[in-house]
């Protein structure tokens, strides 16, 4: 073979391989670049998705944070408006009362009632402040225990009567017949919620009617849901007012807070796993719908109210009221006992009086009793047994109205099923075992029975209760604030104080304790066992015949008073607490000297104690001139905000200026209420820097804040110890 040719062939083959290798290298490079490009695209997509998810999470966190800020702002607005204007509330309310006193020609007793109503309204403001602070420091607990719903409604009725005595508003309770008498839940906070919503509706001005309808829905097992529908006949609310309903503000025109109690009520509803909604239309009124879960007791008992004698069932009842809706609600309560009930409007009755001789019970509004009607009813009563009931509103009636011979019983609205039940029994003079005590004990009382309202001993101070030093007192009360007020009031007295949280505890303490009590102060509306039953249980043992039991209740109608004495109670005090009346009651049963109406104040030189940073006198004035309540406000303030310096420093360090502003708004309002003037001026200065966004100056306030709050804490501690 020709070597040259052979070499040429190999060279040719080498050239071919080189070309192929080049092509392959180009192909590899292309795929490498393509892969790199694809990876880059995938990386960009992943980066974009990750960035989107991060932004989404960040936005979610921001939304939650903004929502939290909005909630805190609402709380701040509440506290700021409340505490900054509380002095104006007191001033304007008292000015209004003085004006009313100057204009009225009524006797002095009525003037005292005007001042009492003003004091009660101011007292509510202070109590709401304490409730707010307790909610803020998460000290409020929901306690589910068995209770009588009628006792709660009676307590609410009495409270509203104290606040709105003389109001022309018609207050109606319309209760379905299937509502259980006893249920398990938080009775104390239920009453607070009902009272706050009803008080709000009645406080709107020019309200013709406020109605509370209660209905029940079954859920499962022993659980039920009660729906409370509150409606009014009023001008209604504008949309912007509706949006701010749960953000309290001070109304310059009426001189009252709007929505303060609603805020606390709404918080309590949430804690009780309930729901609260509100609707309003201009010109058509407002409505609140409250739903709360409860547990029934003895659900198999379909009829919760059993009349003790068959002759009380299936009566023919005739009803005429000044308010037709009220008459229909009352009809439902009578119909529960299988009564045949006829309702007529007041206009129809006055136009053409029907024949009433076929009826067994006639229920007529007090305004209808003229000479002609009285003569007509008297003639009917001469030929048959006819029971005549005079009907009036609790808010408007003189509870001591004279009883005409033709009238058997005076009945005061709003009503509940239990009050109708007891009224029927009393109407026919049937002895019902649940509310009667031994006849022999009634005929020969061992301890004085005082059946009228307690007179107020004027000029009573905390020191005056030392007259009862060494005596043993049992306070039966389920409301923690009332317990604190009473124990603080009697702390200096030298009395030995024992607390029971409900009637059952009271019975156990009296019967099992080695202490021989000198007196029992018995609340009526309590869970587990109410004051009526607890008193009966104590009276079953004759060894306690000499033990005075004084009831403490909001509703003091003649029928309720009669019920108290049938249970074995010796006297009663009306809520809210009046220290002059409390002194009268204690003196009546713990001393041998007659109670004097007025006590002359003996002035002793008092050591002046300086409290740096806090004006005690100003703070007491803001607490309805009650040092006892003021002490409670200070204690709750210390627990909720006493360590706010740590929070303030942290917020400034982390540049969380919006939250720092809200804290200062809280503190400005609160310090204004308690009279902490130095702290008030400081947080006002800090707020100015925050509002004008001068954040670089805030670092200069950290040490000042720490110094002022610690100084305030020391002064509060010093004052509380001095008052103890």
Between 187-202 and 260-271, two packed helices, what is the crossing angle to 10 degrees? Answer: 150
The per-residue b/e assignment along 391-407, b for 16 or more CB within 10 angstroms, e otherwise, is: bbbbbbbeeeeeeeebb
Arithmetic mean of pLDDT, 73-80: 44
Torsion of CA 683, 685, 688, 690, to 10 degrees: -60
Among 639, 532, 657, 696, CA closest to 136: 639
End-to-end CA distance of the chain: 130
The phi-psi region of residue 298 (left if phi > 0; otherwise alpha if psi is between -120 and 50; otherwise beta) is: left
SS3 164: helix
Give the H or E element holding residue 316: strand 316-321
Better-predicted residue by pLDDT, 180 or 106: 180
Nearest-10 Cα torsion for 4, 5, 10, 15:
100
Report yes or no: 94 and 118 within 8 Å, Cβ to Cβ.
Answer: yes
Helix (H, G, I), strand (E, B) or coil at 523: strand
Q: Kindly state the percentage of the chain with pLDDT values over 90.
A: 45
Residues 6 or more apart from 75 whose CB is under 8 A from it? Answer: 136, 263, 666
Give φ, ψ of 177 to 5 degrees. -70, -15
CB atoms within 10 A of CB 572: 24
Q: Which of 92-96, 521-525, 701-705 bottoms out in mean pLDDT, i.e. has the lowest?
A: 92-96
Residue 282's nearest CA partner among 235, 230, 233, 232 is: 235
Query: Rounded to whole angstroms, how far apart are CA atoms 262 and 128?
Result: 10
Q: Which two tokens stand for residue 439?
A: 């006849």
Return the pLDDT at 598: 45
pLDDT value for 89: 44
Contact yes or no for 619/625 (Cβ under 8 A):
no
Query: Could you tell me the two tokens for 639?
Result: 């627990």
Place of tokens 């109304």: 251
Higher pLDDT, 263 or 37: 263
Averaged pLDDT of the chain: 80
Q: What is the pLDDT of residue 304?
A: 80
Per the rule left: phi > 0, alpha: psi between -120 and 50, beta: everything else, 268 is: alpha
Compute the C-alpha angle 559/561/565, nearest 5°: 115
| Rg of the chain, C-alpha, whole Å | 36
Q: Determine the Cα–Cα distance for residues 533 and 638; give it in Å rounded to an integer.
A: 39
Domains annotated on the chain, with CATH: 140-296 (3.30.565.10), 310-430 (3.40.50.2300), 436-590 (3.40.50.2300)
pLDDT confidence of residue 25: 60
What is residue 285's three-state secondary structure? strand
Query: What is the reported pLDDT for 65?
Result: 54
Say if residues 682 and 92 touch (Cβ distance below 8 Å).
no
The answer to whether residue 667 scores a pLDDT higher than 60 is: yes
């Amino acid at each position: 073979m020709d070597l040259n040719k052979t070499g040429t062939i190999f060279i040719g083959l080498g050239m071919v391989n080189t070309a192929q290798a080049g092509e392959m290298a180009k192909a590899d490079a292309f795929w490498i670049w393509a892969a790199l490009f694809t990876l880059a695209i995938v990386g960009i997509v992943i980066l974009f998705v990750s960035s989107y998810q991060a932004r989404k999470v960040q936005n979610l966190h921001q939304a939650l944070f903004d929502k939290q800020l909005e909630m805190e702002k609402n709380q701040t607005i509440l506290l700021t408006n409340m505490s900054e204007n509380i002095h104006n509330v007191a001033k304007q309310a008292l000015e209004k009362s003085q004006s009313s006193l100057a204009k009225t020609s009524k006797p002095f007793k009525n003037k005292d009632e005007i001042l009492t109503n003003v004091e009660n309204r101011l007292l509510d403001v202070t109590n709401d402040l304490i409730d707010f602070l307790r909610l803020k420091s998460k000290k409020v607990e929901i306690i589910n225990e068995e209770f009588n719903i009628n006792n709660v409604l009676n307590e609410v009725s009495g409270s509203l009567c104290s606040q709105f005595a003389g109001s022309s508003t018609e207050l109606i309770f319309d209760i379905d017949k299937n509502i259980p008498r006893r249920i398990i839940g938080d009775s104390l906070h239920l009453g607070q919620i009902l009272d706050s919503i009803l008080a709000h509706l009645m406080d709107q001005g020019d309200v013709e009617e406020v109605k509370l309808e209660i209905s029940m829905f079954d859920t499962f097992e022993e659980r039920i849901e009660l729906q409370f529908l509150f409606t009014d006949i009023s001008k209604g609310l504008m949309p912007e007012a509706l949006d701010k309903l749960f953000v309290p503000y001070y109304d310059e025109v009426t001189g009252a807070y709007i929505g303060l109690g609603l805020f606390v009520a709404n918080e309590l509803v949430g804690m009780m796993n309930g729901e609260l909604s509100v609707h309003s239309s201009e010109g058509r009124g407002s409505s609140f719908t409250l739903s709360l879960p409860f547990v029934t007791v003895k659900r198999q008992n379909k009829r919760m109210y059993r009349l003790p004698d068959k002759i009380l069932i299936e009566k023919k009842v005739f009803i005429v009221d000044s308010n037709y809706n009220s008459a229909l609600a009352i009809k439902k309560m009578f119909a529960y006992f299988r009564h045949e009930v006829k309702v007529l409007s007041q206009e129809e009755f006055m136009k053409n009086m029907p024949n009433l001789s076929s009826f067994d019970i006639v229920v007529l509004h007090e305004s209808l009793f003229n000479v002609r009607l009285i003569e007509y009813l008297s003639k009917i009563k001469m030929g048959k047994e006819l029971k005549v009931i005079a009907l009036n509103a609790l808010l408007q009636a003189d509870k001591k109205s004279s009883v005409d011979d033709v009238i058997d019983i005076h009945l005061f609205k709003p009503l509940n099923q239990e009050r109708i039940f007891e009224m029927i029994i009393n109407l026919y003079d049937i002895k019902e075992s649940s509310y009667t005590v031994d006849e022999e004990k009634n005929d020969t009382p061992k301890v004085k029975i005082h059946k009228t309202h307690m007179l107020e001993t004027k000029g009573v101070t905390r020191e005056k209760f030392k007259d009862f030093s060494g005596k043993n007192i049992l306070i039966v009360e389920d409301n923690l604030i009332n317990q604190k007020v009473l124990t603080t009031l009697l702390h200096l007295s030298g009395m030995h104080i024992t607390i029971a949280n409900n009637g059952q505890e009271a019975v156990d303490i009296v019967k099992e304790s080695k202490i021989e009590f000198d007196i029992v102060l018995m609340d009526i509306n309590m869970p587990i066992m109410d004051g009526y039953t607890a008193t009966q249980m104590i009276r079953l043992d004759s060894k306690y015949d000499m033990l005075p039991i004084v009831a403490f209740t909001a509703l003091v109608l003649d029928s309720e008073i009669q019920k108290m004495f049938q249970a074995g109670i010796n006297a009663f005090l009306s809520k809210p607490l009046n220290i002059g009346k409390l002194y009268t009651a204690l003196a009546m049963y713990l001393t041998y000297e007659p109670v004097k109406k007025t006590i002359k104040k003996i002035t002793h030189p008092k050591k002046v104690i300086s409290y740096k940073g806090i004006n005690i006198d100003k703070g007491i004035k803001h607490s309805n001139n009650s040092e006892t309540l003021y002490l409670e406000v200070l204690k709750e303030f210390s627990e909720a905000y006493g360590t706010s310096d740590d929070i303030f420093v942290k917020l400034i360090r982390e540049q969380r200026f919006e939250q720092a502003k809200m804290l200062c708004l809280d503190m400005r309002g609160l310090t204004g209420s308690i009279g902490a003037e130095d702290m008030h001026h400081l947080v006002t200065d800090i707020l100015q820097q925050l509002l004008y966004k001068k954040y670089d100056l805030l670092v200069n306030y950290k040490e000042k804040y720490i110094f002022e709050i610690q100084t305030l804490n020391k002064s509060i501690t010093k004052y509380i110890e001095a008052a103890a």
